[in-house]
Amino acid sequence: MAKREFSHPNEMHNYVGQEIGVSDWVDVTQERIDQFAEATGDHQWIHVDPVKAKDGPFGGTIAHGYLTLSLGPHLNNQVFELKGFAFALNYGLNKVRFPAVLPVGSKVRAGATLVSVDRTPDGGYQIAAEATLSRVGGEKPCCVAQTLARLYF
């Protein structure tokens, strides 16, 4: 599916409640997991020790939940783009869940569903989107997160 482009938040109202697209697949490598561990200081063996993790509960290393979540913006940028704003801010998250682990060697992608588009008291727009990150062969999503962005024109 091609990236959906919007020139103004007002164009997004017709898509509220709908999935607006799906990203390309991204490889989850041990190198990516190790880099995330280094950046965050989270070196738990289930993430960074392939030898020990092989005999662990998941049969190998798994991505950190927050690494999985952090792939959301990159993947969502492949799904839709809003043009013409001066700047945007990550405003936070309403809800995040990790229903399944994301094993090393997986391919993951995101589907984005538009939840709401609202004016803010300071003249901007708040966009809420639900990102569902799923892996090839997974029965459940690895992450479901409702993200909030504030845009200013």
Can you give the chain as a three-state secondary structure string? CCCEEECCHHHHHHHCCCEEEECCCEECCHHHHHHHHHHHCCCCHHHHCHHHHHCCCCCCCECCHHHHHHHHHHHHHHHEEECCCCEEEEEEEEEEECCCCCECCCEEEEEEEEEEEEECCCCCEEEEEEEEEEECCCCCCCEEEEEEEEEEC
pLDDT tens, position by position, 115-136: 999 999 999 999 999 999 999 9
Question: Does residue 147 carry a pLDDT above 80?
Answer: yes
What confidence score (pLDDT) does residue 1 get? Answer: 60
The reported pTM is: 0.91
Which pLDDT band, with edges at 50, 70 and 90, does 76 fall under? Answer: confident
All structural domains of the chain: 4-152 (3.10.129.10)
pLDDT tens, position by position, 1-39: 678 889 888 899 999 999 999 999 999 999 999 999 999
pLDDT tens, position by position, 78-125: 998 888 889 999 999 999 999 999 999 999 999 999 999 999 999 999
Distances in Å between the alpha carbon of 26 and those of 98, 103, 118?
18, 13, 31
What confidence score (pLDDT) does residue 43 get? Answer: 98
